Each structure stands twice: as structure tokens, then as C-alpha cells.
A and B are shown apart, each in its own frame.
Chain A
Amino acid sequence: MPSEDAAPQLDVDQILADHGVKIIVCCGAGGVGKTTTAAALALRAAEQHGRRTVVLTIDPARRLAQSLGLTELDNTPRQVKGIDVESSGGELHAMMLDMKRTFDDVVLQHTDPAKAAEIFANPFYQAMSSTFAGTQEYMAMEKLGQLHARGEWDLIVVDTPPSRSALDFLDAPARLSRFLDGRMLRLLLAPARSGGRSMFSLVTASFGMFSKVVQKVLGAQLLTDLSGFVAALDSMFGGFRQRAEQTYRILQARETAFLLVATPEPDAVREAAYFAGRLRDERMPLSGLVLNRVHRPAVPELDAEQSRVAAERLTELGGHEATVDVLRAHAALARQAVREQQVAARFTEAFPAVPAVSVTAQPADVHDVDGLRTIGAAISRP
């Protein structure tokens, strides 16, 4: 009895057909097929359910991106041609996230061109907009907010960044606004506000100590740059926080459906369980678990041990080498399937009410629209 049968079956078509669902967020550990799943769902929503869909991908595999017509990172949704939407009337648009450009756009929106130019030239901005841990996550949220605000699509499917931890995606807005709004920043801002007299004029003893250390360790140039960066961003605090909060509320709304994506591997399942817990704590709508790359023997009645014993018997008999190969491969497959069920059961035991669907492993990787269509069908009709 496959363990995933213990969980309610996830009906993806029901979600895709529900016009009340405007946003689908795919999340999970790196390397579990999030991007492919997001693209497959978006394609199916357009082709089968006639929805005007946009898929926001983050760092897709080159060939998958090409199959969606994404040849450049231009940060704007492009319509995907050559898909089968004649009968459904749907549309599929796709885009790749350009983290830095999204950040630049946010800055431009919140300040005048002169100040923006000053911010762009600051080395701290350059470091932060391209490398800040969480910037990609935050910018994915920002882009989602923008796409949602444009109101041009009736379904937005979002792939999430391969974070070091799934939590980064949810924490990024809070972290960034904590950072931009923090005590430290206000302390550093003091000189900008008091006419630049002293960097640390109104601070505690320990902070005075810190400032000395900071000056020694980092050097005066760095502090000047930092202070300039912070002063320039100061005017944007309110805007940043407001947008982060807005996006957060959209994620909590009923129009959003979170789908966890995992493979039946311990790390991926652990990450999915962790994320499920977080979504529950944050009161965000979790619709289900898509378990990718599940191995299922075509002949489940023949178990690993029987198959192994039979292969040995045939080896002794001789003359059946090809069948021996098949039986050995079947034994390995059956054994892997049993192990995968045990691993997947860890999620089901922790979250018995979360609907799940298993997607059988494809013999070859997916990098064209036909492949995405096959995956979409497999997710919907396992």
C-alpha cells in the first residue's frame, strides 16, 4: 500500500480551474523540480483551463527557458507561442526574474532620478542589490506584487528561489524591512540628519566602543559610503515596508494557493515539512504537496526479493542474460520505491490533512513544451 495514499489526493486541476485562485506559489528545496512544476502547471492552466496565465521563473535551466521562448533576462513577461490554446482561449506568458533590475525599479519608483543615480553608484547598493542574502527572495516577492497589481493575468504561477532554506522566501520581506528600519540604521543616519557633525554623537558607551572598532576594522571610506547609502535609502523606508506588508497579505489571502514541491529524499521531505509548518504558523493557504520523481515499478506484485532471487536462478541456468538485467533493474526499482514510500510517509505522518500527489519519475529530463505538457498531465492524473 503506497504511503502517499494515506494522504488525501491533491486535485491540481481543481485548483487550476478555480477562478478564485489568482496566485500559485511553488516552494521547496533546491533541485526538486520546482521550476519545471511551475512551468507545467502554468502551461496546463492556459491550455486546459483557458486561463490567462503568467509564470514567474527564477533561474530556469537554459533549455527549459528556451522552450518557453525566454532567451534573455529582460524582466518582462513574454507570451509563449506555439502552445495549444485554440480551444481553451487561454494564454501563457513567461518571465525570468532579474533581481538587480527589479531592485533598481523599486528604487526608481520611490525616489527622484538624481537620488536614484546616487544610490545606484553607491558600492553598498551594488553589493546589496546583487548579493544580499535574501535579495532574490525579496525581489521575487516584489515582482509578484507588481504582476498582481497590474491585474493583466488571472493566474500568476511563481517559482521560488533555491534558498539556502525555504524560510528565506517568507522571511525576506521582514528581514529587509527590519534591516532598513533597524536601530543600527538610525544610529548611522544620525550624521546625515544632524548635518554630518559626528557619525556617532548620540550613542551609548558600548556603541561608542563599537564605532571605534568599526572605524578601525572597516575604515573611514566604508563608513562614508555606508552612511551615504543609508541616507539615500532613508526616504524609501516607508515604501519598502508598505510593499513588503502588502505582498505578505496577498500571500495570506484566499486567492493564493501554496504548493510544496519535494522529491522522496530525506532532505527535500524535511524541507517540505518545515515549510508546511511555517505556512501553518503564518496562516498562509497550503493547498498540497507535489512529490516529484517518484519511482513506481510497472509490476508492483513482483517484489525486490523475488526478483533478485529469480535473477540469481537465471544466472545459474545461463542463457537469459537480458532477462537477468531486467530482473535486477526491477529489483532495484522495487527497493527504491519502498524506501521512497518510507521517506514520503514522514511528511504524511506530520501533516496527514495536506493533500498530496505523486508524479512518476520521467526517464529523461524535460526541456520542451511537450515534456511540460506530459508533466502537467502526470500531476493532474497520477
Chain B
Amino acid sequence: MSAAERPFDPAGTGWSARLHVVTGKGGTGKTSVAAALALALAAGGRRTLLVEVEGRQGIAQLFGIDPLPYEERHLAEAPEGGEVRALAVDAEEALLEYLDMFYKLGAAGRALRKLGAIDFATTIAPGLRDVLLTGKVKEATTRTSGQRRAYDAVVLDAPPTGRIGRFLNVTAETARLAKVGPIKTQSEGVAALLRSPMTAVHVVTLLEEMPVQETVDAIADLTALGFGIGKVIVNGTRPPLPAGRAVTAAELKRGLVAAGLPADRDTVAGLHDEARDQVIRRELEDSLRADLVELGLPMVELPLLPDGVDRAGLAALAQALVRAD
């Protein structure tokens, strides 16, 4: 392993991989978590790259900026002089870049696009599309300039749990189609990186039934496919209630009176209902949390952001990600 390929652990953050693949069920906030992780790992003068591959422009929407091009761009300053760059990988652009690199296509490449050849090539073989996308991620992860790596870490906002196994398992998908040639070589190189200790797959979930189920399923799939799982990231958690027990209506009424709040029947009944729902919810969350603990993987809990994910919210998530260790 050369110096450029050695795994690192910036400032002992507990995030020891170089390539962080962040997946999760739709709606769990995986883009926000990926962005926060890129920020956290860039802190202290480092440089990270945040990559998206599904053409959703989720990063641009999260940061409230114009759609990202197929080009590494400055995205945000990280604390203490770090930098996060962003890239939206597009399969067609990646194919052209790839062909150009190996075959010096130039204007012929543009002609191919006009013919629909590129669209065709990436459509006919979805595995090819994924090789191109992951290939670009690999290139950015291993790129060096002089003695230094271009990026201290690369964070991939990956496809959701339902598609992640197939997406990462590029060799299997392409092996069926391409038995020899550079595509095969390329996919093998990508597969080697994705299965090495340099890569960790993190799964984002909420304390809700479906996301937790998908998390458990995805981790089983990914493990069977030989990928290294990093952390289970539980998003949107709430601090435990200090008293942590059911309240009686009489108790509640006394409390409201003491606080100088209205303590009429409707108010007491309404708040009592809220408290009951809260207890049901918390119990469900506790049992789901226990299911996740049973996975035996490092777990990070991120707080629910009451005002949504704005820049301050991202900074809070970034802090929570590294503080957890």
C-alpha cells in the first residue's frame, strides 16, 4: 500500500475510511448526513469531496445553490480552514471523459452524443452506468497531486438502501455483460477499492419501522457481498425525557396550575393525549433502537433539528458526527 492509499483517521474522529458511502431509505436524510460528514471530515484545514450520482441535485438543493455541474466545485468552508468541494457525477459525461482518456475521441465524442450513442450505451447496460459512476468516485478518491492526495476523504451520497447492493456490486453486474476488455478491468479496480478497508458504507435511518427494517436488510446484503459496514447513523433522534414515565391527569393539572397555565378540562385532556402518544412513540423508538444495537455495529445518533436542515443545522450534525466518538 503506498502512502497515497493508506487509510487515515483525521484527528481521531473515528471515521477511518477514505471513501465514505452514505446510504439509507428515502426520507431518512442521507444527503444531509453525507453533507455533514463531508463538513466534519474537512475541519482543521482538510479538504473533502461530497459526491452525488443520481442526478437529483440534492446537494445543490440542500445548500441553496445552482445545480452542480460535472465538475468539482467549492461548496463550503469547514471549521478551522477546511474546504468541502462538491461534484455531481453524470454517467454520460463520465463515459465521454473515460473514452476520451483512453481513446482521445475529441469531437467524435460529441458526435456520438448527438447520435444518442452515449445515452444508448448507458441505458442498455445499467451495470455499465454504475461502473462509470463508481469509477469516477474511485478516481477522485485515489487521485494525487505531487506527494499529496487530492482529497483527505470522499463522501458519496449513494443510492438508497433498496438499490445500494446492486450499485456497489459493480463487478457482478458487468461481468455478466463484459467478459474481457477495459470495462472489465475498470470494474475490477472499482470493486477492489469498494471492498478494501479504505471504503466504509454507512447506513442512515430514522427510529421508524420501515427505515430500520431496510437498514437491517441492507446491512445483511452488503455484508454478504463483502462490503465493510462503517456506522449505523440514527437521524432525527430526540433527547430522552428526564422523568420518562406516564403522567396522570391530576398530576398534569397540578403542574399546569403551578406554571400559571390554563388548566381547564380540554387543555388537560389534550396535553394528556399528547403525552400518551409520546409514550407510545418513545416505546416504539426504544424497541427499534434495540434492534439496531443488536447489529453490533458502531452507532451514532444525530439530533432532530427542530428548524430543519439549514447551514447551522448542518454544522450541528457535523459536530454530532465526530463528537459521538
Binding site for B on A (CB under 8 A): 29-32, 59, 61-63, 123-124, 126-128, 131-133, 162, 164-165, 175, 179, 182-185, 204, 206-207, 209-210, 213-214, 216-219, 221-222, 225-226, 263, 265-268, 270, 297-299, 301-302, 306, 310-311, 313-314, 317, 320-330, 332-333, 335-336, 339, 343, 363-365, 367
Given contacts A29-B26, A323-B255, A326-B274, contact A339 B179 (CB under 8 A): no
What is the CA–CA distance of A254 and B124 in the complex, to the nearest angstrom? 35
Given contacts A217-B99, A217-B181, A310-B260, contact A206 B255 (CB under 8 A): no
Please give the number of chain B residues whose Cβ is less than 8 angstroms from any Cβ of chain A in the complex.
Answer: 84
The 4 lowest CB-CB distance pairs between A and B, nearest first, are A30-B26, A323-B255, A31-B27, A298-B270
Q: Could you show 12 A-B contacts with beta carbons less than 8 Å apart?
A: A127-B176, A131-B166, A183-B115, A210-B117, A221-B179, A266-B61, A326-B247, A326-B275, A326-B278, A339-B306, A364-B284, A365-B208
Structural contact, A213 and B103, CB atoms closer than 8 A: yes
- Closest CB of chain B to A239's CB: distance in Å? 20
A-B contact count (CB 8 A): 223
Interface residues of B in 244-275 (CB under 8 A from A): 244-248, 251-252, 254-256, 258-262, 266-267, 269-275
Listed residue (A124, A132, A206) with the most chain B CB atoms within 10 angstroms of its CB: A206
Asked if B183 is at the interface of the complex by the 8 Å CB criterion, the answer is yes
What is the CA–CA distance of A302 and B259 in the complex, to the nearest angstrom? 13
Given contacts A131-B166, A162-B160, contact A322 B25 (CB under 8 A): no
Structural contact, A299 and B271, CB atoms closer than 8 A: yes
Structural contact, B280 and A364, CB atoms closer than 8 A: yes
Asked if B171 is at the interface of the complex by the 8 Å CB criterion, the answer is no
Contacts of A322 in B (CB 8 A): 243, 245-248, 251-252, 255
Contact with A along B281-309 (1 / 0, CB 8 A): 10010000000000000000000001111
Contacts of B127 in A (CB 8 A): 127, 131
Q: For the complex, would chain B's binding face be called helix, strand, loop or mixed by DSSP majority?
A: helix
Asked if B277 is at the interface of the complex by the 8 Å CB criterion, the answer is yes
Contacts of B209 in A (CB 8 A): 61, 63, 365, 367
Q: For the complex, would chain A's binding face be called helix, strand, loop or mixed by DSSP majority?
A: helix
Asked if B146 is at the interface of the complex by the 8 Å CB criterion, the answer is no
Contacts of B213 in A (CB 8 A): 61-62
Asked if B125 is at the interface of the complex by the 8 Å CB criterion, the answer is yes
- Closest CB of chain A to B130's CB: distance in Å? 9
Structural contact, B27 and A268, CB atoms closer than 8 A: yes
